[in-house]
Structures are given as C-alpha cells and as structure tokens.
Structure 1
Amino acid sequence: MQIDLTQGHEGKQILRFSMPIFVGALIQQGFNTVDAWIVGNAIGVPGLAAVGISFPVMTLIAAILIGLGSGTEILLAQAIGKKDTQELRLITDTLLTGILGASIVLSIAGYLSTEALLILLKTPTSVLADATSYLQIIFIGLFGLAGYHTLNGMIRATGNSLVPLIFLGISAGINIVLDLIFVLVFWWGTAGAAWATILAQGFAFLACVIYTNHRLPQMRYHPLHLKWSGRVLREGIRLAIPTAILQGSVSAGRMVIQGMVNGFGGAAAAAYALGMRLDSLASIPIVNFGLAMTTFTGQNVGAGKWKRVIRGEKFAIRLGLAFSASLMILIWFFGASIAGRFIEDADVVAMATEYLRYVSAGYFFASTYTIMHGVMKGTGNTLTPMWIMIFGNIILRVLVAAGLSQHMGVSGIWAAIPIGWTIAFLLTMVYSKRHPLTK
C-alpha cells in the first residue's frame, strides 16, 4: 500500500503512513525485550549484563550503517515527489551497493576488535567472555542488518510503510522461536540469542530484496547489472555522512556512559541494560514520528509543497506531546512492576525503575526536537540536527554524567540524559526561529 504524501489532509496522511512504522518498531523492540526476558530468566544477571554491555557497541556500528542509509531514503523520497523514475534506479544501485560494501568492512573490523573494545569499556571479567561471544556473532550478521534497514527505508520512501511491517513481523516471530530453541533447549546461552537475532535479520533482508525486485521495477537491484552514478554517490554521502556521524556519535556517547555505569558493578550494568530496553520500547512513538516526517517532508519538498510541510510538522509535534504525557504517566505508576517482570533481583529492578523515571521527565523535549529534526532531514538539511545532537545530547550529557555521578552515584548518570535532551530542544528552537521553513 503506497501513500502519496503530497496529497490529502496532512494529519491523516501522516497517521496512515506512521502507524505501520510505529507498529513495526513496536515489534522490533518487542522481540528485543523478549530476548532480554529470555536471557534474564534463563541465564540471570550475568547473561543480561553481557547482552546489555554489548548493546552500545552493536548499535554504534549499526547506527553508522543506518545513518548512511538515510541519505538513500531522503533522495528517493525527493525523486518520488518529482516523479523521476530514472533517478530512482540510479539512487538504488549506487547507494545500496556502497552501503553493503561498507557493512562488510565494518563487520570484519568489528569482529577482530570486539574483545579489546569491551575491555576498553571496563566490562567486568565475569561477563567478558559471554559479551565477546555475543557481539562477535552480531558482527557476522552485519551485512543482513545493513541490507534490511537500507531496503526498508527505500520501500518506506515510496510511501509504503505496510510491507516493511509485514516482513518485520515474520522476522520477529522467527527471532523469538529461535531464541527459545537456542537458549532454552540447546542451552547456547548468550551466543544462542545472538544467532537467533542475525538469522532473523537475514530473513528480513532477503524478503525485502525479493519484494523490491518483483514489485518495484524502478528500484530493482541486480549486482550484475548496476547503473552507477558518481553524482548520486556524492549527493548521498553529503546527506548521509552527517546522519551517520550523528548516529555513530550517539552510540559512542552511550558506550562512554556504559563504561561509567560498569564502574558501579554488574547489577548497575544489568539495570542500565534493562532500562535502555524499556525506554526504547516506550519512546517508539516519538522516534517514529520523526522518521515519518522525514519521508513526508522529502516527498512534499520534491513536489514544491512547503505549506504542507509546515502544517504537517505542527500536527506531528502536538501528537508527540500527547504521547509523551501518556508515557510519562505510565512509567511513573507502573515502571517498577514492568521492570520486575524481567528479572527478580531487587537491586536491579530498583535501579532500572529509577532510570526510567529520570528519562521519562525529558520525553516532552525529546519528542519535539525529534520531529523537527525529521523535517530538517527531509529538506536535505542533515548538518543542523547533527551539530545540535552532538553538542546537546552527547558531549554535554557525558560531561554532566561524569560530574553528577561523583556526587549522586549512578543516579547522576540517569539524570544527565533528560538534561541533554533539554539542551538539544532549546538549541533546535533557537535555530528554527532564526531559520523558519520556507522555500
């Protein structure tokens, strides 16, 4: 189901387009959460800590690849808005080939440096072996991860957010079944959870390739019949590099934070792992409204309909604020009971609950700037969100966390997260006032 985002009521079209993205992300985080539940209950705190410690490293590499893929999605959305079918083929062949090649290089480099990187993060020796095994297997499957996320963005750029949802749902089911078999039946431990993840991602990638080649002939990909364009490559890199740097910097910042948390022991590391998983689940609406606005903006900018972009942004911000209020109430009243479902250790549950309450206080600010940044990216401005996020949400967060943790312990690290979001929000508002949306 393809949606022409340049026609119809802005709010209705944004909701129609964003709902499958929202449900897909919910499924994605859902099976990540099930993965944490299986590992936490089958292996206990050491297993949960090993997976959690690996998470920032894993997301660093994945974020770089996904960031590179964002350039493809922006260019495709704008070309679709212009109805330029020849440009669609050039963008597909050139940028997908480049991203898949980059994933192979990163996979090899990541596999070889896994243990050294985990030691640098002050990983407790009690979980180092499990964390190394888990992360190395994830690196083996990086090609499938990069291919899936890139093709998922390409299909989404056409206005079709339903097909990626279907593939993701099937992939999630495969992931959960394999998790249960590998961890609970074969007793492969954290390595079993990793194998389940990469096999499910490989299926999703293959499904996207088959669909694109059969249903989107203007974007058909065949490695032996490529149409290469240096111009498209340069433009894709121009758009993608800031987002890749941003995503990589966010993950690098998380790695630094992870190192700080690890210094407070295995229980704190497990609480941070659980808290991040639940926070990621709760913030799905916020993140995916931003993704939807990038495609919505790209198509309408390509069609020259700037007033639709402005009206769509206002609608999305109001919707994001409503979701933020609901999530904050949910976390404050039910956060402890939700965390307790994943692990029985009282100290871990208490720290994870405290983490969730701190971060939920910043959801209002995070939702607004996330949507505004999605609009900026759709116009082709990927530099401004990069600089705002690197300063406000990464550098400042790390500095504040380092300072507050000296006086508040691990709670100071939690408090630094909403502080960074608030600064990013203020910087975004200042930029928007000085550079209003206009052609």
Structure 2
Amino acid sequence: LRALAVPDSIFGITGIYLRITFLGAPFTFFYNALAAGLKSVGDSKTPLKFLAFSAVLNAVLDLILIGGLGFGIVCSAVTTVVAEAASALLAAVYMARRVPELCPGQGQWRIRRDLLGPILRYGAVTAVQQAVQPICKVLIQGQVNALGVGAIAAFNAVTRVDDFAFTPEQSIATAITTYIAQNRGAGQTARIRRGFAVGLRLELGYWLLMGSLTLLLRRGILSLFVAGEGAADVIALGSTYLGCMAVFYALPALTNGFQGFYRGMGKMTTTLIGTCLQAGLRAAAAAVLAPRVGLPGIAFACAFGWCVMLAFEVPYYFWTCREL
C-alpha cells in the first residue's frame, strides 16, 4: 500500500479491507475451478447465473448494510466475501446434483503425474496471462492514488461499472472459445468463421446496449456507489470517465472476441502476447496521461492499450484463417 501511494487518511482502513478480502480468495479459486468444469461440458449459462447472483447479492448487502444501516467500508469487504462464498457453494451443490461425473471419486483425490504435466502446460500460459491484468491494475491504481482521495473514490466507483460491463463481454468470448474448439475438433472448419462472425456481432450488439445505457445514465449509476460529503464532486469526476468509456467499451468487446477465437484455436501464446501488449502499454500510457489529464487519462490509456492489442490480433486472424 505504501508503494501504491495510498493516502495516510485511508491507509489503515484499506489494510483492514485487504485482509478481509484475502480471506475470501479460496472461495474465488473454488468457484473458478467449478465454473471451468461446467463450461468444459458445454454449460456456460449456469456459471454466469451464479456469478450474476453473487454480484446482485453483493450489491444488495452493500445497499442495506452500508447505505441503509451506516456500516463502514470494512462491511463492504465482508459482503464481498459472503457473495463469493455463496457463488462457490451454489456451484458445488449444482455440480454434485446435476453433473456428478465431474465430481472426483473416492480414489481420485491424489496427484497423477501423467495428468499433471499436460494440465501445467495448458494452464501455465493462461495463468501468466491472468496475472498480467491484475498487475496492470495495481500499477494504474498507483497512478490514481497520486491524484487524491476524490479520484480514488471516483475510480473505485467507475471500476464497479467497468466490471459489470466487461463480464458479459468475457462470457461471450468464452462461448466463442467453446464453439470454435468443438468445431475445430470435429473438423468443421467452415463453421468456425461463421460462428466467430456471430460472436463478434453479439459483442458489438452488447456494446451498443451497454454503452448507450452507461452514457445516458452514468450519473444515476454512480449515485448508487457514492454518497456522503463530497459526493457531487466524485460523481462529476466519475461521469466524465464513464462518458469516455461508454464509447471505448467497443474496443474490449472486440479484443475479447478475438481472444476467444485464439483460445478456441489453441493459440494460447497469441492471447498472452496480446494481453501483455495491452496491459503493458495501458499502464505506461496511464503513467503519462494521469498526472496531466487526471482520471479521464486512465480511460484514454485503456483505449490505447486495446487499440494496440487489436492492431496485433486482427491481422494475425487473417493469417490464421489460411490454416482453415
């Protein structure tokens, strides 16, 4: 937290918040493993339903306990952990009842070396890729922290909106991955291009909906997350950021679609290179723009990273299609 330049006025409470949220990490790991298992057998809707339930439960608990009863920010960490635990529990119960073939048997609770190697090979690239994004977010958070408490409050609010906007885009990308992988395995190459085109249309259609709602309702949305003294300034700052991002949401819609395509084609190195380009250049751009432009500079840094990622992945897509 010191390295991230967290202001002294909120340093103590931030430390407590982190300790509590870290306690919920095992629930997140458990849910991700179960969700991956369900998606592997073609059930991508159920994990999304559990994730949506978790998000709604978290928001409702925050509104009741913090907004209504006046509990502090520490309560937000507790509600987050509770929501994560609920999604993991629901996924476990569902899998045990509906997909028992995925549940390990009595003699399967051991490490098998013949399976460990392939799992590590497949998972290592994905793990590195998944680690790049949080590292980038930490670097960007450091730039936001230097802008002061008002910018921190606004950024925390708008990232909630960003997460809500990105989750369906990522889910569509997961569907693209599953569809392409299945058709690639079946040798149905003609269906790969058609399916990918449909996936991109879904991504852009969702962006039109989400971007329009965000642009029109951004102040009202932010008022759900911001209250108390100085709320008007925080909402004004956050609405400027969301006004830019409402347009820029089209870029991650496309990058998620292409990432889904490359994962389905088994080109995990390509997805890693694209992610590293996007995250690294976004963090670098944020370091340049945030001190000069403020919070909107973070939005433009995100757009820059996504554009570079597309500049790499789109031409390579046409090269890849030569193999089909």
Instruction: Provide TM-score, normalisation by structure 2.
Output: 0.88
1:255: how far off? 0.8
Residues in 2 aligned to 1:302 and 1:167: alpha-carbon distance in whole angstroms: 29
2:147 to 264, 277, 282: 264
Aligned equivalent of 1:193: 76
Q: How does 1:82-97 map to 2 (within 5 A)?
A: none
Q: CA RMSD in A?
A: 2.5
1:288: how far off? 1.8
Residues in 1 aligned to 2:232 and 2:69: alpha-carbon distance in whole angstroms: 29
Instruction: For residues 88-141 of structure 1, give each alpha carbon's deviation from its aligned partner in whole angstroms, at most 9, with x where no partner exists.
Output: xxxxxxxxxxxxxxxxxxxxxxxxxxxxxx222111111112211111111112
| 5+ residue gaps, structure 2 | none
Instruction: For residues 24-58 of structure 1, give each alpha carbon's deviation from its aligned partner in whole angstroms, at most 9, with x where no partner exists.
Output: xxxxxxxxxxxxxxxxxxxxxxxxxxxxxxxxxxx
Asked if the contact 1:175–1:197 (Cα under 8 Å) also holds between the matched residues in 2, the reply is: yes
Matched, 1:233 2:116: yes
Task: Return the letter of the residue paired with 1:266.
Answer: V
Residues in 1 aligned to 2:289 and 2:52: alpha-carbon distance in whole angstroms: 41
Aligned equivalent of 1:435: 320
Asked if the contact 2:44–2:175 (Cα under 8 Å) also holds between the matched residues in 1, the reply is: no
Residues in 2 aligned to 1:185 and 1:330: alpha-carbon distance in whole angstroms: 26
Matched, 1:343 2:231: no
1:204: how far off? 2.5
Aligned positions, number: 321
1:274: how far off? 1.0
Asked if the contact 2:177–2:261 (Cα under 8 Å) also holds between the matched residues in 1, the reply is: yes
Residues in 1 aligned to 2:60 and 2:250: alpha-carbon distance in whole angstroms: 36
Aligned equivalent of 2:310: 425
Name the SS for the 1:264 alignment partner.
coil
1:214: how far off? 3.4
Q: How does 1:17-416 map to 2 (within 5 A)?
A: 118-168=1-51, 171=54, 175=58, 178-179=61-62, 183=66, 189-222=72-105, 225-226=108-109, 228-344=111-227, 345-391=231-277, 393-416=278-301
Name the SS for the 1:361 alignment partner.
helix
Task: Return the letter of the residue paired with 1:163.
Answer: T
Residues in 2 aligned to 1:175 and 1:336: alpha-carbon distance in whole angstroms: 21
Residues in 1 aligned to 2:60 and 2:290: alpha-carbon distance in whole angstroms: 40
Asked if the contact 1:300–1:308 (Cα under 8 Å) also holds between the matched residues in 2, the reply is: yes
Aligned equivalent of 1:76: none
Structure 1's 329 and 187: CA in aligned 2 closer, same or farther, altered over 3 A?
closer
Structure 1's 211 and 224: CA in aligned 2 closer, same or farther, altered over 3 A?
farther
Asked if the contact 2:48–2:171 (Cα under 8 Å) also holds between the matched residues in 1, the reply is: no
Residues in 2 aligned to 1:143 and 1:209: alpha-carbon distance in whole angstroms: 14
Structure 1's 222 and 123: CA in aligned 2 closer, same or farther, altered over 3 A?
farther
Task: Return the letter of the residue paired with 1:413.
Answer: I
Structure 1's 224 and 176: CA in aligned 2 closer, same or farther, altered over 3 A?
farther
Structure 1's 340 and 188: CA in aligned 2 closer, same or farther, altered over 3 A?
closer
Task: Return the letter of the residue paired with 1:432.
Answer: Y
Instruction: For residues 211-240 of structure 1, give each alpha carbon's deviation from its aligned partner in whole angstroms, at most 9, with x where no partner exists.
Output: 323332321225763364323322222222
1:199: how far off? 2.6
Asked if the contact 1:144–1:205 (Cα under 8 Å) also holds between the matched residues in 2, the reply is: yes
Task: Return the letter of the residue paired with 1:436.
Answer: C
After the TM superposition, which parts of structure 1 deviate over 6 Å for at least 4 consecutive aligned residues?
none
Residues in 2 aligned to 1:255 and 1:223: alpha-carbon distance in whole angstroms: 41
Task: Return the letter of the residue paired with 2:135.
Answer: A
Structure 1's 319 and 210: CA in aligned 2 closer, same or farther, altered over 3 A?
closer
Asked if the contact 1:366–1:422 (Cα under 8 Å) also holds between the matched residues in 2, the reply is: no
**Percent identity among equivalent residues?**
28
Structure 1's 254 and 171: CA in aligned 2 closer, same or farther, altered over 3 A?
closer
Residues in 1 aligned to 2:48 and 2:208: alpha-carbon distance in whole angstroms: 26
Asked if the contact 1:213–1:221 (Cα under 8 Å) also holds between the matched residues in 2, the reply is: no
1:382: how far off? 1.4
Residues in 2 aligned to 1:224 and 1:191: alpha-carbon distance in whole angstroms: 42
Residues in 2 aligned to 1:341 and 1:166: alpha-carbon distance in whole angstroms: 23
Asked if the contact 2:166–2:252 (Cα under 8 Å) also holds between the matched residues in 1, the reply is: no
